[in-house]
Structure formats: structure tokens, C-alpha cells
Structure 1
């Protein structure tokens, strides 16, 4: 790290500002030095002859010295004092200005929280290191280190604890780096490192990354709170193949390492990946999808599809689950597994979901009143304290009965902010909306959460149904979930039924609902309506409804 600081100094000296030269020139002010030098020479010249005369006249009563010479000496002494005082004042002022300039430079080039180099000074220092390694057997590796879910750390523990975590992690990373290493804080929770290594010893960098991950993962304790952070790391190197991977500068290496870091973040926590050219293509495609989502929401390209939900005992259609599809003019029909995570990351999932629910409520108004509509809700939406009010507004706007709507939330929602989830779920329940716990068995729900939260249904994850065999582990798990549902008086729905064998096993386990490709793939609104029309399960027009015996007839109204 010491050599890294010297590299920064060398990089900055090449770009010296005029103000720096002005301060340096002020220290060598020729006017003040000239006045002082002339005063000294004049004093020596005149004082050498005048001072003996003054002494003789003072002590032995000799002839008084020439008054003109005396005035010249006194003037000379004044000039000498003036020149010296001016030089001292100027020197002190230069020192104050230099300290101020040094402090300003530190603030401009150093991150005030962690003491690392910042976005302005880090890349030049890395570029200086890269150039110093040219022509040697050594290369430079650049690491981009990003803390996972740092916003959640801030939200749950406060910004002061967040600052403590950043400072602690920066110190741990700095301790892991070699003496020549460079550390910079590039963004809020992003750090960039540059380290040299021998060309044929890239595994040394892998070992260093493993050490950094272990160091960062250690708990951070402060103010009786403990936080455990994880990181995602991307790496890029200067080792080049002139045909496929030309030499790049530090900024380009940081960009490549950032792409690799994003690749690592998508695959879990405490992971790292080296940059590969195809990653850049993947990121470009991802950015194109993001732009397509932003344009597609107002253009109405996202539409609801409907998957049948069947009563397994009677085989009767009981409702539909709404699933999102993207009818993109460029990519065709896009699966939600592709666009939902991106919409969540760019904070558009609420807008997208509300548009889909609004359309689904309008479609479901034409169905038989006994059919229900199930809607999946993203964990991101449950962070919105106004979500319940927004959903109720959609119900009022459409005139759809709340009792026919079922909201499905996943187990992961219960671990982010259980208090906020409980408040939203209770608000929805009070309006008659039913709540299902989706993908049950894949998360970490506790029995106390199932007992205290007012769920109306459990949905067995499709992975357990796919493993359902006569004597396999999947059968035991499904039976355990169904038994738990019975104990808590919660009805159960099995997802992902695709074979007759799985259906037969589920029928033998009790009164369940089911859905899956065995009953058909999800269909758009028009196809669903045609299916219901063929089953005579569309809502009857008001004119065709039988009269309500509680209301007086037309003849009675006229008579009365």
C-alpha cells in the first residue's frame, strides 16, 4: 500500500496545477530576497566605517559621525527589518496555504470515510502501476468488490452502522493486499483494487480473493449490533493476446471487472469471476432488455396469462392463477423468469404488476362468480407501505369482488421485514382478500410465522411434486406439508402436476387443489374466455339472472 501511495504521488505530479507553482514561487520571492540582500550589503558597507566613529564619540568624546551617514545606517537597518519581516510573513502565509492545499487535495483524492483513494484518484494510480509493469514478467489484476444487500444493512441497522461496516471492510481489504496494492472506493459500497502478479501465477490472485472473502465475511460489531456482510467480486487482468484481447488501460480494466462482478452477483453471495468477453455481450443484452421493459410497460406489451386450478377430488375447474408474459415486438413472448428479476432490480416491478392486475381483474369479471383469481406478488412490492391501498384501489376501480381475489407471497418475503408484511397482509385480509403462502418448503418459514400470519392456503412447490414417487423422498415431504396444512386448518394446492402418476399420488393424500401442465399450459385472456364459454362458465348477463326473492316484483311495486 505504501508503494501504491507513491504511485499516486507520481501520477499527480505530472498534472501539477498553476496554483502549486505559484506557491512554490512565492517561497522564493525575489523582491523580498533582493531587499534583504541589498540591505545587508549596504549595512556592511556603511556600518563598517560608521560604527567605529559612533563608538569613539560615545565612549571617548571624539568627533561626532556624519549625520547623513547615520541616517543612511538607520534607513538601512529599517530596510533590513522590513525585508526580513516581509520574508517571514510571506513564508508563514505560504505554509498556511500549502497546508490548506494539501488538505484540499486529500479531500479531493481520498474518501473521507474510509481513507481509501476515491473515484478521481484511484484509476490514475492504477494506470501508473500498470505502466510501471510494462516490459516485465508481471501483470496487473483489477478487482471490483461490491457488498451484497448493503441497502438492507443501512435500512435495518441505520446509516451509522452502515458507515461502520464500510470502514471495517475497507480496513480488512487493505490488510489483505500486498505492499504494492492499490485500494480505492469507487462508489457507495463498491471498492476497486489493483495488484501486480507474476504472469504465470494467476492462482496467486485467486488465493488473494479467497482471503479477502474470508476477511470480509467476519462479523462487524458496533453499538451492541452485529452485522455479517458478503461480497461479490469481479476480476480483470492486463495479460493480453494481441488478436483477441488487446492491452487496455486501468479504466477499461475497471469496467471489465465491474461486468464480471455483476456476473458474480447474479450467481449468489461470496463469489468471484474473472472477466470473459461473452460477459460483455450478456450485459449488453441485459441493458437492451431493460430498455425494452421501460418502453413496453406504457405500450401495453405485458399481458396476463392464466393457468387452470383444479379441485383434484372432483376434477372441477375452481379458478386461475395469473402469470405474466411479455409480448415483445423484438423478442416475441418472453418468460417471466427473464424479465421479472430485471424489473425488480430497476424498481419497475410495482408499475408492471399493477398494470397486469388491473387487466386481470377486468378479464376475471367475465368469468363465473365461483371462479377465483390468484396473483403473485413480488417481495419488492411488499416493501411498499402503500401496497395494500394500491391493490384495494384497483379492486374498487374494477368492481371485482375482493373475496374472489387471492394474493400469493413467497417465503422469502417473511425474512425481509416481517412487521411490514404482517401489516400489509392484515390490511388485505380485513377487506376480504385471501392470502396464500407460495412455494412452501423452499424457504425457512417457522411454525410461529404460519400460526401468527393469517394465511388462507399453502402451495406446495413444484420441485417437490416433480419428485413425487411411490416410495421416494418427495412423497414423504408432500405428505408432511399436507399434514401440516391440516393441523393448521390451511387448505393446500400442489403446483407443477405434469404426469398422471403424480396426480394419482396427490389424490390419495386428501382434499387438494392442483395446477400444472397436465391440465394445459397457461393461456391468454381470449383463449381462456373461449375455454370458459365452452364450459358454460362465463358470468351471466344481469337480464338472464333469476329474480332475487328478497326483492319485490314489478307487479308488486306497481300495486304498492
Structure 2
């Protein structure tokens, strides 16, 4: 009997073979058997013991007495083991419940987590369809959360997430699903009557308003907002014959696309999924893979836009512009692929390939002609950018003084000390520097004086409307006066009409570029045009570059 009790205890500790409920019954059975034996043997032993004490009868059989004592000990031991066993079972059940809670809920906010979200949505879709209802899915991402997290610390970020979860619970109707799927992203779902879809938009508006309220913490107030993507289970792009798992997956995909659309549309708003978003996503994916493959295959080529001295009409150089000769989409302008290349981290590789080819093309031009190239703000975050550019110059055997690197105003606000160091390195090698798109950013006169720029380029948005917009004329006149005061030559972009050209001539001396002088052209076309005007180096040695440039300058 003692052995059986010990066996049952070992089983409770984890020995396989006997289910938990059966172990409880075995332990109780041992105790019950011991009690029956106690009753059976105890009645005889106790009766004889009382008689022997009171009347001097026959003494108690020692074997029966020992059996009685053994039964008493066994009852005590069995009861103790049963109590321990039930305690172990209770603790194990509590641990399993805790583990189950941790596995299916977010420990910080108490919301469901990504693992449990799919099954919860599937169950809601199943119940909604059975009741003739639909499910609306909200994909929510907090705006400016990363900035607040970096500024105030992770504890503040956690407090903001907890406050967000509480606002979701307060705003959403009873029975709604709330899940945190990672970082600052939440997913919510609710059932609604398809004939009352406006109710979903009302809830989304309330969520936007609730999330835009400042989060008041002990040491600071945090201002955030939320961008929300909406999708519905009875949408046109969701096959109604699909099972619940497929519908749940499509809902999340559609709401995710709509959320990114809400972010790109200005944040702090909601946006319904539209089938065009999926087409745009496929195009974006094709664009990304096409860019990566196109760089390796040499599909990105330099085009060249003329730069003209507007006083003499003489060609002074070219600005290199990027073009993508895609075998699938044709010739693509840079405003389509440059932002994507920056986002996927290949802009430096793309830019260097274009500059390398442009330097090879330009070394055949007359030495009086300069080459201007634009660099991305992301490239100026690389402390080795100057060395990379100098290496390209050496490889192409191109004179540094003929290269003009154009830097946009936005670069000056990201890391001015690094930009100043790079600018100094380029200047020390004889490379010229221009401040591009001047007037669209926030450059100060102090920055213009502290950085050794050789030229200012006035943004085309002001120049192209110079002859018909008083504000543009005032801005161009002010920039011209500033350039003259700082002794910085000026280039005007966007000269498209004779009227604009005439107005510029009234203001001063400029280099000009724009469609009035022709569209950007590929290297072969430019080379043919220069050959017709005898503006190619031809068989002349590069040692003649400086005399040729002096002859061009002297007319």
C-alpha cells in the first residue's frame, strides 16, 4: 500500500502513463482501502483492548495491534500524499493557464497577440456570416511613435502603448477584437450590419480622435496619432466562397495596404481598401526588383541637359540626369525610381554607376565644358563619399575642376558637420560645389558663408513662372541680389519660354538650363551634336585642356 502511494506521487510529478484525473482516483482509493482495513481491524483490536483494560480479559494480539498501527500510519501518509498531489495538480494547472495566457496575449497591453489573432478573426467571420453580418478589420499604426520612443525612452514608449490599448478598449464596441501584432501596430475587428457601413467609419473617426489626444505621463506629455486602414469581409476583392482562414488573411492584407495609404496621404486619418492599392503594390514590387536587376545589367544611363550662358548663348556644360531604360516599361524618369532606390538602399550603387559612365562620356567633350552631377542626401551620410567620388575621377582620368557636384538644401539640415567635412574634402581636390534647389528649403546666409559653395541654383518652381507670377519674380530677384552680394554665380533652372529668359536678363547674369534649350539627350546624341560644333577633344591630348578652356573663356 505504501508503495502504491509512492507510485501515485511520482506520477503526479510528471511520470507518464496515468492521466491526472485517474491519479486523483488512485490516491483516494488507497486512502479508502486503508480506512476500510482500519475499520475492520480496529473494531476487533480496540474491543479487546478495552476489555483487557477494564475486565482483565485476554490481551490483544500483537499482530492485529501492529496492523492497526500500520493502517493508521498509512491513512496519515496517504492523506498527506493526496494533499500534496492535489497541490501539485493545482500549481500545474495554474502554470499551464499562465503559459496559455502568455502564448496568446501581449504581456504589455493585455491584448491578443499575432499568434492568436488569426483564429480570433476566423471565429468572428464564421459567427458574422451565420448572422448575416460582415466583419470590418482595422489595421492601426501609431504616427510619430518611434520619434517619441527615441526621445523619451522605452519606458515612455511602453506607457504610450498601454494607453493606446486602453483607448482602443474604450472606443471600440463590446465584442470587438483588439490585438497588438508588434511594435506600434494594432489590429482590431468588429461585426457590423452591411447596410450600416457608416457605423464603421464613425468608429474609425472616433479612434483617430482618441489617439490624437496627448498621452499625459508623469514627466512628459506625448503627442501621437494613428493611421488606420479599413477592410470589410464582404468586399469585392474577397471571394465569399472562401473559407474563414482565407477571408481572415485577405482582410489583414487589404487593411494593411489601406493603412499605408492613410500614412502616405498625411497620417492621422483612416482609409478604406481599394483594389487599385493592390495593383500599386505589385507595381512597386516589380519596380524594386527591376531596379536591383537593372543596376546589374546597366539599364540606368545618363542623359544630359544643356547649361547655357544666357548673356552670350554659349554652351558652358551639361547636367547629368538619370534615366532608366527598362526593357519592360520603357524609358522611366528619375522621379519614379530615385525615391524607390533610396528607400531600398541602392541609391549609392546606382548613383556611382551613373557618375562613372558620365565621367567617361564627358572626358571626350571640349575641356571648356563642365559636368554637373546630383548626389542624394543619403550619399552624404556616408563619411567615405568624398573618397569614392575621387576614386571615380581617377579611374576616368577626368579633371576635378570640370566636375560640379550639386547638393540640395535638405542635406544641410541632416548632419551639417559631416556635410562640411565632405565639402571640404571635395573642394581640396578642386571639385566645384553648387547649392541646388535654392529657395525651397531653409538655408540661411550663415550656412552659405560657412560652406564653400561655388554657385547657387535657383529652383525651377520659381524660374518657370517668373514672367507671370509676381511672387516668383520677387523671390528670384531676392536670390539674385543675395548671390551678387555673396559673390556667388547663379544658375536658373526651368527656363522654358522666351518670356522667362527675357525677365532673367533684366535681373543679371546667369547660367540657364531648361526645355527652351532642348530636351535632355543621351550620350550618343550629345556626342554627335558636339562633334558637329567641333566641341570634342578628338585626337587632342588632355594636357591641352587648360589652354583650350582659356581659349573658350576668352571667346
TM-score w.r.t. structure 2 length?
0.84
Preserved CA contact (<8 Å) 1:470 1:505: no
C-alpha distance after superposition, 1:241-287 (max 9, x if no partner): 59977665222100111122233333333343211222212211221
- What's the offset of the Cα at 1:333? 1.0
Select which of 278, 286, 293 maps to 2:284.
286
Distance 1:544 1:485 in 2: 33
1:111: which partner in 2?
A: 106
Select which of 71, 83, 87 maps to 1:76.
71
SS of the residue aligned with 1:133?
Answer: helix
Residues 65 and 166 of structure 1: CA distance in aligned 2, closer, same or farther (over 3 Å)? same
Preserved CA contact (<8 Å) 2:309 2:510: yes
1:340: which partner in 2?
A: 338
| Structure 1 gap ranges (5+) | 1-18, 550-560
Preserved CA contact (<8 Å) 1:467 1:473: no
2:432: which partner in 1?
A: 434
Q: 5 Å matches for 1:8-87?
A: 25=20, 29-55=24-50, 57=52, 63-87=58-82
- What's the offset of the Cα at 1:290? 1.5
C-alpha distance after superposition, 1:214-267 (max 9, x if no partner): 444455688977765454332111134599776652221001111222333333
Select which of 391, 394, 410 maps to 2:392.
394
1:478: which partner in 2?
A: 476
Preserved CA contact (<8 Å) 2:179 2:188: yes
1:212: which partner in 2?
A: 207
CA-atom RMSD, angstroms? 3.4
Distance 1:388 1:43 in 2: 97
Q: Which 10-residue stretch deviates more, 208-217 or 307-316?
A: 208-217
Select which of 431, 438, 456 maps to 2:454.
456
Q: 5 Å matches for 1:474-513?
A: 474-513=472-511
Distance 1:54 1:447 in 2: 115
Q: Which 10-residue stretch deviates more, 458-467 or 521-530?
A: 458-467
Residues 229 and 75 of structure 1: CA distance in aligned 2, closer, same or farther (over 3 Å)? same
SS of the residue aligned with 1:134?
Answer: helix
Residues 259 and 508 of structure 1: CA distance in aligned 2, closer, same or farther (over 3 Å)? same
2:3: which partner in 1?
A: none
Q: 5 Å matches for 1:321-400?
A: 321-400=319-398
Distance 2:18 2:122 in 1: 28
Preserved CA contact (<8 Å) 2:136 2:200: yes
2:83: which partner in 1?
A: 88
Distance 1:490 1:331 in 2: 41
Distance 1:240 1:436 in 2: 53
Residues 490 and 261 of structure 1: CA distance in aligned 2, closer, same or farther (over 3 Å)? farther
Residues 548 and 211 of structure 1: CA distance in aligned 2, closer, same or farther (over 3 Å)? closer
1:410: which partner in 2?
A: 408
Distance 2:30 2:119 in 1: 44
Q: Which 10-residue stretch deviates more, 59-68 or 241-250?
A: 241-250
Q: Which 10-residue stretch deviates more, 262-271 or 211-220?
A: 211-220
Residues 39 and 203 of structure 1: CA distance in aligned 2, closer, same or farther (over 3 Å)? same
Distance 1:426 1:161 in 2: 41
Residues 375 and 227 of structure 1: CA distance in aligned 2, closer, same or farther (over 3 Å)? farther
Preserved CA contact (<8 Å) 2:238 2:250: no
Distance 1:103 1:365 in 2: 72
C-alpha distance after superposition, 1:317-372 (max 9, x if no partner): 22211111111111111121221222122211121111111111211222222322
C-alpha distance after superposition, 1:82-103 (max 9, x if no partner): 3223222323333333343334
SS of the residue aligned with 2:398?
Answer: coil
- What's the offset of the Cα at 1:522? 0.9
1:146 lines up with 2:141 in the alignment: yes
Residues 329 and 548 of structure 1: CA distance in aligned 2, closer, same or farther (over 3 Å)? closer
Distance 2:107 2:116 in 1: 13
Select which of 457, 463, 470 maps to 1:465.
463
C-alpha distance after superposition, 1:2-51 (max 9, x if no partner): xxxxxxxxxxxxxxxxx9x9998358533222212222333333334433
SS of the residue aligned with 1:505?
Answer: helix
Residues 167 and 242 of structure 1: CA distance in aligned 2, closer, same or farther (over 3 Å)? closer
Preserved CA contact (<8 Å) 2:377 2:408: yes
Residues 108 and 544 of structure 1: CA distance in aligned 2, closer, same or farther (over 3 Å)? closer
Distance 1:445 1:82 in 2: 87
C-alpha distance after superposition, 1:416-472 (max 9, x if no partner): 444444443343334333333322333344444444444333322222223222563
Distance 1:59 1:452 in 2: 119
Distance 1:286 1:114 in 2: 34
2:301: which partner in 1?
A: 303
Select which of 500, 515, 526 maps to 1:528.
526
SS of the residue aligned with 1:501?
Answer: helix
Residues 443 and 546 of structure 1: CA distance in aligned 2, closer, same or farther (over 3 Å)? closer
C-alpha distance after superposition, 1:148-192 (max 9, x if no partner): 576666677766666565555455445443333322232444322
SS of the residue aligned with 1:347?
Answer: coil
